Chains A and B, each alone.
Chain A
Amino acid sequence: MAEMWISMGPQHPMTHGLWTLKVKVDGETVVDTEPDLGYIHRGVEKICEARDFTQITTYCDRLCYASANTWSHSYIYAVEDLLEVEVPERAEYIRLIAVELQRIASHLMWLGAYGPDIGNLSVMVWCLREREMMMDLLQELGGSRMHYNFPRVGGVKRDLPHGFAQRARAKVSLFLDRIQEYEALFDESTIFLIRTQGVGYSKAEEMVNHGVSGPNLRAGGVNYDVRTAHPYSVYSELDWEPPVERPSIKGADCYDRYRIRVEEMRVSALMVLEALDKIPRGADTYHEPGDPAILAKAPSRAPEGTSGAHHFEDSRGESMFYLAGGGEGRGKMPYRASIRSPMFITIPYASKCMIGYKVADIPAIMGSFDPCIGETDR
């Protein structure tokens, strides 16, 4: 059969979002790929030039809808860099809890979508069920299930609600047990192993040169994590380490990328439990919204010539905001807001990873990199 270009997408049940992957196949083997993004380009960067700093937080949640908290916090740290705001420690702990809970929820969504990619339909329901528990917790914190608009410039919107610590501990401990069920379903299944091992090799140095970071990079055998390398927030005060995966000789395959995320879920869960113990003034004290313990006074204008940038460890890699001060409203709005999306850079790399494998490996490889098109297209 001659070589032909197949277009997977934009309407396709399993591309994890709205984009097109044009694949050139020779029989069943992939010879070339070409990703085509931009279907949900909403112009967030342009919109941000006409919004207050507080208003932009709402947009940032919607960048990657599966992992909303990590994006709004990524933005907030950049704003605090721009405005030079000192954040109270309790607020940092609350932010850490929110971010790590969101990371668990994001990885659960990934796992729930990755199972059906490989063919296992049950695990989608199982993972979404655990995700419900996390979303309940995040709803208590932020007010809604998906787009919380949680951080504020200088702190957080509100404190941990009454009884949150007890419920969070119960749910996270239950979740830690349930992870073992997922592992049983995947690791003990020969079919899963033959589908994901030896498929989609990626080496660490190549990944770094291509701009891939986060769990995809740590699956390659290096323990680089933005939270430890360019420290921010209170990660230095918790006892944790980023999980690292031992890849195969030819590089990290899909199995490694799957395993690293399962380990990351564990690490995040343990971090949440520890943060609840170590939070200053205790997890059961409640401060009213606007209390200086959780929200510091912040200037609302950034003079021209200033800029703020922050690298942040998002669920999918290293995300970054760059804000140039001095925009409209005499500095109340950023002159330019620039967003770095890890998936925007990883998807072309993942498309290159697919070359040489079979068409049936495409969902396995693409799914293992955890694409989220919301942040890709902004």
Chain B
Amino acid sequence: MMATGDWLDLRGWVEGLVGWSMDNVHDALPSKDLDLTVTISPPKGIWPEDILLGREVNLQDGFADMQPALEGLFSATMICTVVFTTMMLTMLPIPYIERKFIGRLMDRLGATTTLRSLWIGESGVTAGEWWNQLPFGMGAPIGWLNKTLNSIWGNDHELEAVSRVNNRGYHGYWFLLPGFFQAFADFTKFAGKEHIVPKDADRPVYEVAPVIIISTTVLVFAFVPFGPHFYVSSPELSVVFMMAIFGVAPLGVFFAGWSSNNKYTLIGGMRSAAQLTAYEIPLLITVLGVCVISGSFNVIEIVDFQAEESNVWNLFMLPLGAALFLITMIAEVERIPFDMPEAEAELVEGWWTEYGGMRWGLMFAAEYQRCYAACLLFALFFLGGWEAPFQGTMESLPLVGGGLEFLLALIPGIVWVLIKAWALFAVFVWIRASLHRVRTDQILEFGWQWLLPLSIVNLAIAMFLRVWVWDGSWGIVAPVVMILTGVLGLVILVVDEDKEALESMRRPYSTYAVTKAYPGRHPDTKLEDLQRQYKSYSAVKAASSVSLSDTEAGT
């Protein structure tokens, strides 16, 4: 089953450890039979024969009978614990990425300043030159790098106005990642809050709803492999089971919304149930496409297919599927642009308004866990899982291939999976910071009218690829054609060739915009240009019968 492997063989180690310890116990037990029989000789008048109680016991054999079950239990427990802990620990960067990345996007700092701001403050507020504290002068190159970057791309604007509002006070630990322990602080706070149940809420349903949501979310991680040997269980139909449990959460959401005795949560719960149901189906069909192209319903086999057999990441073979998976997953985890059910603009917090304390904390964590699961699944289904980028190519290079293969084998697969998942989560955050919220009926319309047909098209493409193109390998042409088709589709959708026609199509009634904005156009506008444009705008208005082309000609 596992063609790719790496040295982080968690299952093997745990099973080996448990087996070794059980064997030792087995050997330590006495191997002789123990005579635990007792013979009672009642008086002959009452009972004619002797009564034999007890029996002979061989501890070692008895233990040997139990050993497989015990081994299974212990190793399963240990693996579950380790995987769950890993999952929780590797989930900690997720809220960190969200907070920090959104903060930088909102501050419009730019890439260099953003990166530096992770450890250095701005506008004179810094953590001090912490690198000088490192022993043996190890920090000197860091200091040099810092000064060089500061002199080339300094973060002080020449206008003191801008510097003044750029000010991000730096509060954090001197080493590496300020703000990292915010997640712990958050959870401590949630744990300490009171559990309030609304007076007329339907109590059993109210209590059961968070249980459903949280437990199904955690259960998904039982089937998510972090590495080739780093998973809890991997049955043949693991994808099916994962998607099934992922889809139970809408039920919990609906329970939560209905049982809180609150009109807002009711509306939120209904919206959520409608939205999640609407996006489950394209999601499932897309995943089906991936399974078809990989030939298996098992996640590990899907990753192995990408790594070993096809040597191409599914992203390049099914770009449409990847895009669909991304969009439907964003809708499933209820992030902007699809977060209408919990939109604070109308519904305060939506279906989880009435929950407080740890229940809310855990549901909040469950939302991020679902996000994390979505990112991990994308990494596993489309991004090659635990394979390094260009791993096959690098290993087959003529001279350096052997060396690279050795280096790559040093890095356990889990590292690649995590890097891909976190990078994808950064994309989620980027989308969240830039886009607006879509209205519920528009979300549903989009899901049923656009995503569902597209996912079926994707499935057809996947079937075609697997049945007619797959020949033990893809051939050089297939991924290239797919990528080019995907890029072409993106170009057609995104680039507005005929801006004016597009304008009039999407808005037959246009505005007197003086300077139409498009990204990258600022910041060289001069005041005289603006004033000149304004004068021509007045002239244009005085004619009092302006068509679109006239407005555009004035700019």
Contact = CB atoms under 8 A, between A and B. Distances in A.
Interface string B502-530: 00001111111111111101111101001
User: Which one of A171, A358, A360 has the highest number of Cβ atoms from chain B below 10 Å of its Cβ?
Assistant: A360
B97 to A, nearest CB: 16
B346 A8 contact: yes
Nearest to A170: B159
Interface in B259-284: 263-264, 267, 271
Contacts of A170: 159, 161
Contact of A189 (B267, B346, B435): B435
A115 B507 CA distance: 21
A361 B439 contact: yes
A288 interface: no
B438 A195 contact: yes
B513 A259 contact: yes
Contact of A358 (B336, B343, B439, B514): B439
Contact of A184 (B433, B510, B518): B518
A360 B527 contact: no
Interface in B264-311: 264, 267, 271
A191 B434 CA distance: 11
B465 interface: no
A278 interface: no
A78 B476 CA distance: 81
B339 interface: yes
Contact of A119 (B107, B337, B541): B337
Interface stretch (A67-75, A81-89, A175-183): A175-183
B82 interface: no
A187 B514 contact: no
Contacts of A362: 346
B161 A174 contact: yes
A197 interface: yes
A96 to B, nearest CB: 17
B108 interface: yes
B358 interface: no
Contacts of B69: none
B432 interface: yes
Nearest to B521: A180
Interface string A113-155: 0011111111011100100110010000000000000000000
A197 B518 CA distance: 20
A122 B525 contact: no
Interface residues of B, number: 60
A359 B435 CA distance: 20
B269 to A, nearest CB: 12
Nearest to A116: B345
A249 B508 CA distance: 9
A270 B534 CA distance: 9
Nearest to A239: B535
Contact of B518 (A14, A188, A359): A188
B340 interface: yes
B436 A120 contact: yes
Contacts of A178: 522
A173 interface: yes
B538 interface: yes
B517 A183 contact: yes
Interface stretch (A208-216, A228-236, A240-248, A293-301): A240-248
Nearest to A173: B527
Given A136-B164, A181-B522, A246 B517 contact: no
B133 interface: no
A125 B102 CA distance: 11
Nearest to A121: B433
User: Which one of B164, B509, B524, B531 has the highest number of Cβ atoms from chain A below 10 Å of its Cβ?
Assistant: B509
A25 B440 CA distance: 15
Nearest to B435: A191
Contacts of B531: 270
B442 interface: yes
A317 B486 CA distance: 50
Nearest to A192: B436
Contacts of B506: 190, 193
B426 to A, nearest CB: 15
A1 B442 CA distance: 20
Contact of B509 (A4, A195, A249): A249
B46 interface: no
A121 B165 contact: no
A136 B106 contact: no
A125 B165 CA distance: 11
A201 to B, nearest CB: 12
A291 interface: no
B161 A167 contact: yes
A345 interface: no
Contacts of B435: 119-120, 189, 191
Interface in B72-113: 102, 105-108
Contacts of B513: 183, 187, 259, 263
A191 B437 contact: yes
A266 interface: yes
Contacts of B515: 180
A34 interface: no
A360 to B, nearest CB: 4
Contact of A263 (B512, B525, B530): B512
A40 interface: no
B263 A6 contact: yes
A263 B534 CA distance: 11
A256 interface: yes
A246 B511 contact: yes
Contacts of A118: 345, 436-437
B441 interface: yes
Given A119-B337, A180-B517, A195-B438, A247 B507 contact: no
Interface in A59-106: none
B509 A247 contact: yes
B99 to A, nearest CB: 12
A173 B528 CA distance: 10
B66 interface: no
A13 interface: yes
A304 B65 CA distance: 109
B514 A266 contact: yes
B336 A136 contact: no
A121 B432 CA distance: 8
B161 A28 contact: no
Contact of A244 (B159, B340, B523, B541): B541
Nearest to B336: A119
B107 A187 contact: no
A120 B434 contact: yes
Interface in B437-474: 437-442
Contacts of A129: 165
Nearest to B271: A28
B106 A246 contact: no
B50 interface: no
A360 B346 contact: yes
B165 A191 contact: no
B135 to A, nearest CB: 40
Contacts of B521: 180, 184
A363 interface: yes
A358 B438 contact: no
Contacts of B437: 118-120, 191, 195
Given A170-B161, A181-B108, A246-B510, 6 more contacts: A6-B264, A125-B107, A184-B521, A191-B437, A194-B439, A245-B511
The 10 lowest CB-CB distance pairs between A and B, nearest first, are A119-B437, A183-B517, A125-B106, A363-B345, A119-B436, A180-B517, A191-B436, A360-B439, A14-B345, A184-B517
5 contacts: A125-B106, A125-B107, A177-B523, A180-B525, A189-B436
Interface of A: 4, 6, 8, 12-14, 25, 28, 115-122, 124-126, 129, 132-133, 136, 167, 170-171, 173-174, 176-178, 180-181, 183-185, 187-195, 197, 239, 241, 243-249, 255-256, 259, 263, 266-267, 270, 273, 358-363
Interface of B: 102, 105-108, 159, 161-162, 164-165, 263-264, 267, 271, 336-337, 339-340, 343-346, 348, 432-442, 506-519, 521-525, 527, 530-531, 534-535, 538, 541
